[in-house]
Amino acid sequence: MMVGGLAVTNVTVAERLNPIPFAGIRKVFEKANQLEASGQKVIHFEIGRPDFDTPAHIKAAAKLALDQGLVHYTPNSGLPALRQALAGRLNADKGLTYSPDTEIIMTAGGQEALYLSFLSILNEGDEVILPDPCFGPFPLAVRLAGGVPVKIGLQPQQNYCYDFAAVKKALSPKTKAIVVNSPHNPTGGVWSEDQLKTVAALATERGIWLICDDAYDNLVYEGCRVSPAGFAGLRERTILCGSLSKTYAMTGWRIGYIAAAEPVINAAIRLQQNIMLSLCSFAQYGAMAGLAGPQDCVRTMAGEFARRRNLVLAMIHDIPGLQLDGFPGGAFYAFPRITLPNITSAQVADYLLDHAGVAVVDGLAFGEKGNGHFRLSYAVAYEDCREGLERIAEAMKTLAQKCS
């Protein structure tokens, strides 16, 4: 290897990165983009990115901040007015009260919120209960924080909720936290209030944390919208990790947050000081306009996602070789199981992209329990959803004949 004209040998990276693969979703996305560059139309069911533009009033606020020269460092925890706007939104939407000065930190998207949360509470060897399947960075973030991910299978017929008997069996003196993700990525499952109360009771009984991934909290079509932080005695034991990405179609703006007890926020601020320092200034002004402004845009986008979900549910049941075991009540995902013999979910995903021009994600990218499934994101235009499902139906019909 040559670096600056000099031969360099034995180049190594940190051993802690050895078990961390490149993201499976990005691999599919990049391959799909290559096919598009060659002139082929690809239906992008692989990426969890709303196809809507960021609402105009949010962009206008960011532009105004730029014009006014508001382009410098901000507080590590985010602009005070932005934290105030978020506190107001959490109160209006969830009935929760958090101090904007001591119990909220703004982060570079929901993903950084999760990383900072795990780094703030985990000691070496602490265990974290995670859903399987789950969002890929969950177990990686736990490991990088020195923790041990303990994956528990979900029950499709029970809103893709934990098997609580398995959770109780897995609890140990080293268990530090349980992750709650409802609406759930990759299945779209939405837990019931009783299910949330069950996991809350476990957290209270064992004295452990609940870490709530609330990235899709405004995309609930059917099911419970309650936050465990609102249950008696749970507020001080719950860490909310949220994002503006899906709610306001702001994926590229990278604005998220943590809302939690003051000691957790203090720890997260110390990490933020040494990782990000502070977030993009003018993006924060745009986020402020989103949180404090009219929420019609949120309801409009959620309504359109619900329309697409209904289309997916109506069409997917007639596709040979696929079965939807559970009900997606939120987010913008479906997670069908492949029923064809003698073929893997990775092979099906590759076939759909190569022969049908439809990009989906092999369920194995979300954990062992995702094997034999694929994730389909309906965060694309309604007509593209229809066309993509029609292409999948034709391709699966062909595969069914080959596998028989």
Q: pLDDT tens digits, residue range 154-200?
A: 999 999 999 999 999 999 999 999 999 999 999 999 999 999 999 99
What contacts 40, CB < 8 A, 6 or more positions away?
357
Segment 206-223 shows an average pLDDT of 96
Q: pLDDT tens digits, residue range 47-82?
A: 899 999 999 999 999 999 999 999 999 999 999 999
How far apart CA 243 and CA 214 sit, in angstroms, is 7
Cross-strand partners of 130? 151
Segment 261-266 shows an average pLDDT of 98
Q: Which helix (H) or strand (E) holds 288?
A: helix 281-292
Contact predicate 23/362, CB 8 Å: no
pLDDT of residue 346: 95
Least confident of 25-29, 160-164, 256-260: 25-29
Contact predicate 286/58, CB 8 Å: yes
Per cent of the chain over pLDDT 70 is 97
Least confident of 7-21, 271-285, 350-364: 7-21
pLDDT of residue 9: 59
Q: Which helix (H) or strand (E) holds 9?
A: none
pLDDT of residue 404: 72
pLDDT of residue 241: 98
pLDDT of residue 19: 74
pLDDT of residue 402: 84
* Position 25 confidence tier, pLDDT thresholds 50, 70, 90: confident
pLDDT of residue 33: 80
pLDDT of residue 32: 76
pLDDT of residue 5: 57
> Cα 131 to chain center, whole Å?
13
pTM of the model: 0.93
What mean pLDDT, rounded, does the chain reach? Answer: 94
Per cent of the chain over pLDDT 90 is 87
* Peptide bond between residue 55 and the one before it cis (omega within 30 degrees of 0): no
Domains of the chain, first to last: 22-51+297-403 (3.90.1150.10), 56-292 (3.40.640.10)
Backbone angles phi, psi at 257, to 5 degrees: -165, 160
Segment 366-383 shows an average pLDDT of 96
Contact predicate 260/234, CB 8 Å: no
Does pLDDT of 1 surpass 60?
no
* Peptide bond between residue 183 and the one before it cis (omega within 30 degrees of 0): yes
Cβ neighbour number for residue 82 with a 10 Å cutoff: 28
Does pLDDT of 357 surpass 80?
yes
Segment 303-331 shows an average pLDDT of 96
Segment 114-134 shows an average pLDDT of 97
How far apart CA 103 and CA 94 sit, in angstroms, is 16
pLDDT of residue 54: 98
pLDDT of residue 6: 58
pLDDT of residue 3: 54
Half-sphere exposure in the Cβ direction for 119 (13 Å, CA): 20
Give first-to-last CA distance, the chain, whole Å. 49
Contact predicate 321/395, CB 8 Å: no
* Position 123 confidence tier, pLDDT thresholds 50, 70, 90: very high
How far apart CA 264 and CA 176 sit, in angstroms, is 14
Does pLDDT of 308 surpass 60?
yes
* Position 7 confidence tier, pLDDT thresholds 50, 70, 90: low
Backbone angles phi, psi at 128, to 5 degrees: -130, 125
Does pLDDT of 360 surpass 90?
yes
* Position 15 confidence tier, pLDDT thresholds 50, 70, 90: confident
Segment 119-134 shows an average pLDDT of 98
Of 251, 243, 310, 276, nearest to 29 by C-alpha is 251
Contact predicate 291/86, CB 8 Å: yes
